[in-house]
Amino acid sequence: MRIRVEDAHGVLVAVVGATLLWAGYSKLNDVGGFHAAIRAQDLLPSFAHGAVAWCTPLVEVVLGSAAVLAALSRRRIDAAGLAMAVLFGAFAVYGIGMIGWSPNASAGCGCGIVRAERANWATIAALDAGVATALASLAVVARRVPTAIPPADAPLGRPVEH
C-alpha cells in the first residue's frame, strides 16, 4: 500500500485544523484567562490586548473548521494548508519575539494544549515553525506530484495510462 502525498497532506491539514479548532474553542471558553496571558507576556501594546484576545481564537476556530471541512470533502486542502501555514508562521514569529523580549515570561498560550510550566518560547517557536513548514511544503508538493505514480518499469517521459 502506497501513501499518496495528497493523502498525507489531507491528514496533516485535518489534524492541524482540529487542533486549531480546539485551541480556539478553549480560548473562547476562557477569554479572560487568554487576555491575562497576553497581558502578562508584555510583548504587545496594551491597546491591542483585547483585540488579540478575541480575534486570535475566532481566527483559529474559523480556520480550523475550514481546514477540517476541506480535508473531509477533499476540496481546497492546499488553500487551507497554506492559510494555516501563514498563521503558524505568525505564531512562530511571536514566539521568537518573546525569546528576545521576555524569555522568562510564561510560555502558556492559553490554548490548553501546551502547558506553561512544561514549555518555553524556543520550543513553541520551533514547533510552530515546523508545522508551518510542513503544511506549506506538502501544499506545494501535493500540487506538483502527479496523482498517478507510474510503475518503476514504465518508460521515462511517457504518460502511463491506466
**pLDDT of res. 84:** 92
How far is the C-alpha of 118 from the C-alpha of 162, rounded, in Å? 52
How far is the C-alpha of 17 from the C-alpha of 80, rounded, in Å? 9
Is 40 among the domain residues? yes
- What is each CA distance from 140 to 97, 102, 109, 137, 158, in whole angstroms? 28, 35, 29, 5, 23
pLDDT in tens, 117-154: 567 778 888 888 988 998 888 888 776 655 544 555 55
Is 162 among the domain residues? no
**pLDDT of res. 103:** 63
pLDDT band at residue 18 using 50, 70 and 90 as cut-offs: very high
- When divided into structural domains, the chain yields a total of 1
Cell of 18: 482540529
pTM over 0.85: no
Is 129 among the domain residues? yes
How far is the C-alpha of 158 from the C-alpha of 130, rounded, in Å? 36
Is 154 among the domain residues? no
